[in-house]
Amino acid sequence: MDTIQLLMDGFSSALSLENLLMAAVGALVGTFVGVLPGLGPTSAIAILLPLTGVLEPTQGIIMLAGIYYGAMYGGSTTAILLNIPGEISSVPTCLDGYPLAKKGKGGPALGISAIASFGAGVLGVIGLVFFAPILADQALKFGPPEYFALMLLALTLMVSLSGGSLIKSFLMGAFGYSLSLVGLGPSSGMPRFDYGVSQLMGGFDMISIIIGLFAVTEVLKGIEERRSGATIAKTGSVYPGKEELMKSAAPMLRGGLVGFFLGLLPGCSAAITAFLAYDLEKKVSKHPERFGNGAIEGVAAPEAANNATSSAGFIPLFSLGIPSSPPLAILLAGLMIYGLTPGPVLFEQHAPFVWTVIASMFVGNTMLLILNLPMVWVWVKLTRVPYGIMAPIILMFCTIGAYSVRNSLFDVSTAFLFGALGYLFHKYKWPVVPLVLCFILGPLLEESFIQTMAMGAGNIAIVWSRPISLVILVAAAALLVISILLNRRTNKRVREEQAHGIDVAS
């Protein structure tokens, strides 16, 4: 009952006129950046994240929610209309979305995608309402060993974020941890890795690194590829007809359930569930031969699964502090800007704020449906803006974004330096998300490790001698095996689809 009351309070805060306006602006801007060819949701959120920093916390978070859903929807738009999946999770959407767009039915495909996203978002909020009190009750039992075990659980994500080479993924994770060490040590207060440079004593700012690795890199990639504005065929009405809705209802439900329940497992990415949902739909269909040639079910199921996984990802994010996808890793950084450190005690310590965030997710999603969908033609036109104009604008936004967090030009230089590094990482296939994830989790890992060792009088065995931390460690081992198996399957499917000519932009 308390939870419902808190959620209602969250809604009353999120639904004020000012906050609604922020949600609307966030959804619009997020969609615009997400729809730009080659810019996936992760880059879109990274570019726009610092812009929310100039607002009050509640407004900033609400705008961030709008940006998140807008960018996710923008990513689906390019997958359907241009056959360019911003992220691997959008590959299954391309398989039938693009053939539909070529037939002039891109509009209904976008409509179904938005409805699936909305439904999955609602499922996520319901899941949070259901799980939050349970987790809040458990929160007080968490001590440093449990947190340390949680950080080890987060390492299982390296498998799903590896993008191919596990060695490279773990090395990038180690690089991320190393970067997080720069600054004052938590135990002695002595500066580490500063080499006499005064700016390094304050450590690296995570937003600068994120902006560099995602946004600046994206611009550099665009220059290399000599990107231009895109040409899109007529989309038709975005409102799906009765027949299309009837055909999509069951696939949406099946995809949503697959996405939601698998999405609860940290390490199970949206790419895995989107492919599983697509393959499942093909298996249960009476006409599997229609798949790949423009079956609306082939859009509904993976989109529902993709979005349900993204929404379900909020549960491990809020409750355990573990982001299960790249956009959620950036969102985690965004929440941390506002002093919210997701984890078991989040619901205990910041209940009103957290429920406003949850309510704002719902508001952002609704905004997308009622405001964004009818405006799809505007986005289609905006994709024709030449890259030569967009790229300098994005770079200037990156500068402001990196500068505004600490009013530091050092952070701007850091963003540009990591932009160049990100370009090299992309070129030689080194995954950057493990770096970002470990950079964010690094201080938490170190703090929990030092406290655990102090509690155990220098004996690490304390971690597996406590029931909750032991359960987390066993879960981490199980998830590692599941992640490896599911990722192998997904990588195989991605290679199959790439062989059929789908170009994954990320």
Closer by beta carbon to other proteins, 365 or else 414 = 414
Closer by beta carbon to other proteins, 303 or else 497 = 497
- Binding positions for other proteins, 188-217, rule CB under 8 A: 188, 190, 192-193, 216
Out of 12, 103, 126, 185, the residue judged to bind other proteins by CB under 8 A: 185
Closer by beta carbon to other proteins, 38 or else 124 = 38
Instruction: Print the SS3 string covering 60-75.
Output: HHHHHHHHHHHHHHHH
Q: Tell me, by CB under 8 A, how many residues bind other proteins.
A: 55
Helices and strands per DSSP (H, E), number in the chain = 24, 2
181 binds other proteins (CB under 8 A): yes
Residue span binding other proteins (CB under 8 A) among the ranges 39-47, 222-230, 292-300, 346-354: 222-230
Q: Closest approach of Cβ 76 to other proteins, in Å?
A: 25
Closer by beta carbon to other proteins, 88 or else 412 = 412
Q: Closest approach of Cβ 96 to other proteins, in Å?
A: 25
266 in the Ramachandran plot: left (φ > 0), alpha (ψ -120 to 50) or beta? beta
Q: Are 467 and 160 in contact (CB under 8 A)?
A: no
Q: Are 325 and 335 in contact (CB under 8 A)?
A: no
Tell me how far apart the 2 most distant CA atoms of the chain are, in Å: 69
Q: Closest approach of Cβ 89 to other proteins, in Å?
A: 22
Q: Closest approach of Cβ 352 to other proteins, in Å?
A: 26
Tokens encoding 487? 């990722």
Dist. CA 477–CA 167, nearest whole Å: 18
167 binds other proteins (CB under 8 A): yes
Name the nearest CA neighbour of 210 among 218, 199, 200, 198.
218
Site string for other proteins, 27-66 (x = CB under 8 A): ---------------------------x------------
Q: Closest approach of Cβ 392 to other proteins, in Å?
A: 4
Q: Closest approach of Cβ 429 to other proteins, in Å?
A: 6
Q: Closest approach of Cβ 398 to other proteins, in Å?
A: 9
Q: Half-sphere exposure (CA, 13 Å, Cβ side) for 290? A: 15
Closer by beta carbon to other proteins, 1 or else 428 = 428
- Binding positions for other proteins, 93-132, rule CB under 8 A: none
Q: Helix 17-35 vs helix 351-367: angle between axes, to the nearest 10 degrees?
A: 60
Q: How many residues does the chain have?
A: 506
Distance of CA 222 to the CA centre of its chain: 22
Tokens encoding 466? 């406590």
Q: Closest approach of Cβ 264 to other proteins, in Å?
A: 29
Dist. CA 200–CA 193, nearest whole Å: 8
Closer by beta carbon to other proteins, 170 or else 239 = 170
Closer by beta carbon to other proteins, 429 or else 488 = 429
Name the nearest CA neighbour of 13 among 69, 57, 58.
58
Name every residue whose Cβ is closer than 8 Å to that of residue 34 and which is 6 or more positions away in sequence: 40, 41, 44, 70, 71, 72, 73, 74, 75, 77, 78, 86
Residue span binding other proteins (CB under 8 A) among the ranges 74-82, 89-97, 175-183, 268-276: 175-183
Residue 125 burial (CB < 10 Å; 0-12/13-18/19+)? middle
- Binding positions for other proteins, 381-440, rule CB under 8 A: 386-389, 391-393, 395-396, 399-400, 403-404, 407, 409, 412-413, 416, 419-420, 423, 427-430
DSSP letter for each residue of 127-177:
HHHHHHHHHHHHHTT--HHHHHHHHHHHHTHHHHTSTT-HHHHHHHHHHHH
Closer by beta carbon to other proteins, 144 or else 342 = 144
Site string for other proteins, 438-477 (x = CB under 8 A): ----x--xx--xx--xx---x-------------------
Name the nearest CA neighbour of 276 among 287, 189, 426, 265.
265
Closer by beta carbon to other proteins, 150 or else 272 = 150
Rounded to the nearest 5 percent, the helix, strand and coil shares of the chain are 75, 0, 25
Dist. CA 415–CA 139, nearest whole Å: 36
Dist. CA 93–CA 70, nearest whole Å: 17
Closer by beta carbon to other proteins, 174 or else 233 = 174
Q: Closest approach of Cβ 54 to other proteins, in Å?
A: 5
Closer by beta carbon to other proteins, 188 or else 231 = 188
Residue span binding other proteins (CB under 8 A) among the ranges 110-118, 133-141, 197-205, 223-231: 223-231
Q: Closest approach of Cβ 4 to other proteins, in Å?
A: 36
Tokens encoding 68? 């998140």
Tokens encoding 415? 């963003």
Dist. CA 445–CA 396, nearest whole Å: 34
Q: Closest approach of Cβ 386 to other proteins, in Å?
A: 6
Closer by beta carbon to other proteins, 381 or else 429 = 429
178 binds other proteins (CB under 8 A): yes
Dist. CA 436–CA 399, nearest whole Å: 19
Q: Point out which residues bind other proteins (CB under 8 A).
A: 54, 167-168, 170-171, 174-175, 177-178, 181, 185-188, 190, 192-193, 216, 220, 223-224, 226, 386-389, 391-393, 395-396, 399-400, 403-404, 407, 409, 412-413, 416, 419-420, 423, 427-430, 442, 445-446, 449-450, 453-454, 458
